Amino acid sequence: IFTMDIYKKLKPEKSEKQLLVIGKIATAIIVLLGIIWIPIMEKIGGGVMYQYLQNVQSYIAPPVTAVFLLGIIWKRVNSKAAIVTLMTGLVLLVLRLGSEIYYQPQISSGENVEGVLYAFATINFAHMAIFMFIFSVILCVSVSLATAAPNYEAIRGLSFGTLTAQDKQDNKGSYSTVDIVLSILLIVMVIGILSYFTG
């Protein structure tokens, strides 16, 4: 991904052999960073891999989801709002993981520590995801309204507000009644599973 999507676009004159070398170097760096990250993983989610994955995913997903959904349903969202929302989400992710790692001994022992940062570090990860999503939506909408509107012609067909009558007609032919029924069934199943396991 790094080689073809980023490096090749920055250095289009590079040969296939040079791209292969860059790809190997990028892979080695990622593997090394992964190994360095292992001790940190033990400090998040109580050292349980599943809990760690859920924690990290719940901090990464909200800003991405907010930008994606708003970009589809509201044509006024612009690139500045998307970047600000994603970068703010990244800052919150680093703050949350950093505070969780810093206060890990107190969290593990159940010790109650005063302070905003400790309270931030101990919010349940699922609740944190909800708060981050709401914050991301508000931030994205606010920045969109405070900055210039996008070029609607350039984004035609990419959000509901920019669909023409022809686009809507073309989209209708891309799904069937079976697709709709299966989608509803999937939603009902997810709600059922969530309801069952949350009591």
- Per-residue pLDDT tens over the stretch 154-174: 888 778 777 777 777 777 777
- pLDDT at res. 156: 80
Q: Cα separations (Å) of 182 from 20, 175, 195?
A: 43, 11, 20
In this predicted structure, what is the pLDDT of residue 158? Answer: 78
Residues 18-47 pLDDT 10s: 889 999 999 999 999 888 877 777 777 666
Question: What mean pLDDT comes out for the span 63-85?
Answer: 94
Asked whether 89 and 68 are in contact (CB, 8 A), the reply is no
Instruction: Please answer whether residues 58 and 124 qualify as being in contact, where contact means their C-beta atoms are separated by less than 8 angstroms.
Output: no
Percent of the chain topping pLDDT 70? 97
Residue 84 has pLDDT above 90, yes or no: yes
Rounded Cα distance, 130 and 87, in Å: 18
Q: What's residue 128's pLDDT?
A: 93
For residue 106, name the pLDDT band (cuts at 50, 70, 90): confident
pTM of the full structure: 0.72
What pLDDT, on the 0 to 100 scale, is given for residue 90? Answer: 95
- Quote the CA–CA distance of 185 and 179 in Å, as a whole number: 10
State residue 144's pLDDT score.
96
Q: Which helix (H) or strand (E) holds 54?
A: helix 49-73
| Range 137-142 average pLDDT | 98
Cβ(139)–Cβ(88) under 8 Å?
Answer: yes
Q: What is the mean pLDDT of residues 58-71?
A: 95
